[in-house]
Every structure is written in C-alpha cells, then in structure tokens.
Structure 1
C-alpha cells in the first residue's frame, strides 16, 4: 500500500471471536469437533458488544460456524481460517506416545519453522491468515475462528515472533480486537476479553 493509499485508508476493526469450547484436551486442528454452546449468558454478553453492519467471516469447521450462528451471525466461511493443521498429530493428546518427543519439542520451541508430520508450521498458518486479512480493506470485520488463527492475527498485527504469540491465552467465546490502519500499522485493543 502506497503512502497516499495509507493516508486515505479508513481503519479496519477486526473483531476476532474464538469458537465455543470443545472440551478436548487434544491437538484439535482440522478435526471437526462440535462446540459446546450451552453458556447462553456468555453468548448474550458477546453478542451485545459486537458491531452492527460488519462483514462476518468464519472458519468452515462446524465449531466456528455454529458459534457464529449462536451469536446471531450469518458468516461467509473461509477454510483459510481453520486452526493450525497438526497433520499426523491431529486429535492426539499432547503427550500421546505416537508423538515423537524430539519433534514435538522442536515444534513448540521453533513453531515458525517446524511442522508436525503432514501438517503445517506456524509461518504457514500466519501466511494464510494474513491473506484473509489483506483482502478486507473496509470494516468492521467479525471473524469467528480458532485459538491458533487468532494468535496468528495477533502475531501479524504486532510483528511478534511465533513463540511469544503462543504465550497468550485465547479462551473459548473470548473477543480479541485489532485495528488495521494500512500498511503494517496496527493497534491491538483487546486480547482474550470476556465481556
């Protein structure tokens, strides 16, 4: 984006919502587990703070789509907003014996470069999330997605390295809000907010 385009660009607010809980203490990436949407009070509080007239996006996985619908939203689904793909580790417990301990340690120590077998690295996740974010030059945008996707957006907005971004918690049904001012100019207003 040129300096002239930046000067005329309107800020784009991104309202990132993590889907409802799955209650799975596992590496649930592309595995399509349902969300528990029984916390009607949390959904109502979240619904009350969302902007009107926003573009609404969602991962194509059912836990994100059903959360969007429970919030009264009609999303456009985008598979690029799926959680990190854990490949051969999909739906395994973090300490499952099938997970090679040395590779797992490398994955968590250097997530940007290391990928699970047949899965994707943090940098690959960030690339697909950044592509979605670049396509939206007007806002606000509400995106119902997954913890890794929201952390990737936070990493993009702050230019934070992967390992640092992974230190943040993103709870189910939480809101993280970021504003894009054009180019590489962002502000982060909220992370993991539970209205």
Structure 2
C-alpha cells in the first residue's frame, strides 16, 4: 500500500489567486525545512509539481531521498483569468461565480480555468499513475493547497465544501493512506 506524504510548498506571500503562475517560494526558514526533512521517511521517493515554488521546496527537503521527475499534473488549480488577481476584484467581476466556486465546489470554473472536479480528476489520474509505477512506496509529494485538499477529499470521502474546512499551511505535511481510507495527519507541522 502506497503512503503519501503531501507537503505544501514554502510560502509565496501572494495576496492574489495563485494557480499556474510561476512564483517563488520563501525558503528562508531553515529550521522549519530541517524539521520537515527529518520528519519525512528516509527511504521515500520525492516528487513535485513542475511549478518553481514546489520544485525548490522539494529540492530543499530531498536529502538523500530519490527524486522523481517533476509532474505538471500536480500543479495547483488553474484559475484562468483569475490568476494573479485579488480575491475582492474577482468577487466584483464575477460575484455569483466566485461565490459558487468556493461555496459549492464542483463544476464551476473560472473563465479559462478548471473547475474543482476537473482539477481533482487531473490529480487523481497522476496519483494512480505514480502509485502503479511505485507500489507500496512512501511518496513525498510537494504540491499545492488545492491539490492536497483533493487528496484529503478522495481518501476521506468528503465533499468539496467539507474538505475546504481543512487548513493546509505552507511547509505542512498531510500523510494519507488511500488504500485504507485513512488520514494519519492533516496539516502537521513537524
């Protein structure tokens, strides 16, 4: 059975929607990075989304672990025309859609972007592919808020609205056992 250790990338300090925009992570908290690295299983495989904030975070915590190729399917949600725009501006532009996107996540999508369901399906396909290639492995996956929540949702059988109640902080670990339908930790700070 594969065990997933989902790590959210380091903080970006963005105040706007940040999806596929390639912004850097602040990795200046060496203590947090050292604690995170020490907490993760030594023999685990490390993979990340292909966005810089995840790649550099994975580099920082890799240690002696084997690295897998960056995977674009592990990118954050694609916010389309909302990416880089402040939340209040998006609410002004699309009041009903922006509210529906968060209050009833599912098939609502930003203009030019992905819905919650489309993002979750993209990530789920990547997870199945990675599990098939590395059965029974411990996998450290450095990804994004939305990506990690889709996996908590899938493992615990929650609705999109229910899973949005979970906090996923930068440099936190969410350890999931999909085959057992169990979350060992969510948003853990070593």
2:183 to 167, 178, 188: 188
User: Structure 1 residue 95 and structure 2 residue 85: aligned?
Assistant: no
Q: 2:31 aligns with which of 14, 34, 41?
A: 41
Per the alignment, residue 51 of structure 1 pairs with 41
TM norm structure 1: 0.89
1:55 CA drift (Å)? 2.0
Q: Structure 1 residue aligned with 2:140, among 137, 142, 158?
A: 142
CA deviation map 1:128-183 (0-9, x unaligned): 111122121331111000000000110111111101111111000000000132xx
Task: Specify the alignment match of 1:161 in structure 2.
Answer: 159
Q: Does 1:125 align with 2:119?
A: yes
Gap regions ≥5 residues in structure 1: 1-10
Partner of 2:103: 109
Other-structure match for 1:7: none
For 1:143 and 1:163, locate their aligned partners in 2 and report how far apart those are by CA, in whole Å: 23
Residue ranges of structure 2 left out of the alignment (5+ in a row): none
Supply the distance in 1 between the matched residues of 2:178 and 2:167 (Cα, whole angstroms).
22
- The structure carrying a bigger helix percent of its residues is 2
4+ residue segments displaced more than 6 Å: none
SS of residue paired to 1:33: coil
Q: CA deviation digits over 1:68-118, x for unaligned, max 9?
A: 111135342100100000001011110016631111112112221100011
Number of residue pairs matched? 182
Shift of 1:57: 1.1
Of 50, 54, 60, the match for 1:60: 50
Deviations for 1:10-69, whole angstroms, at most 9, x for unmatched residues? x21100000000000111000000000000000000000111222211000000000011
Contact preservation (8 Å) 2:46, 2:62: no
1-side partners of 2:22 and 2:96: how far apart?
27
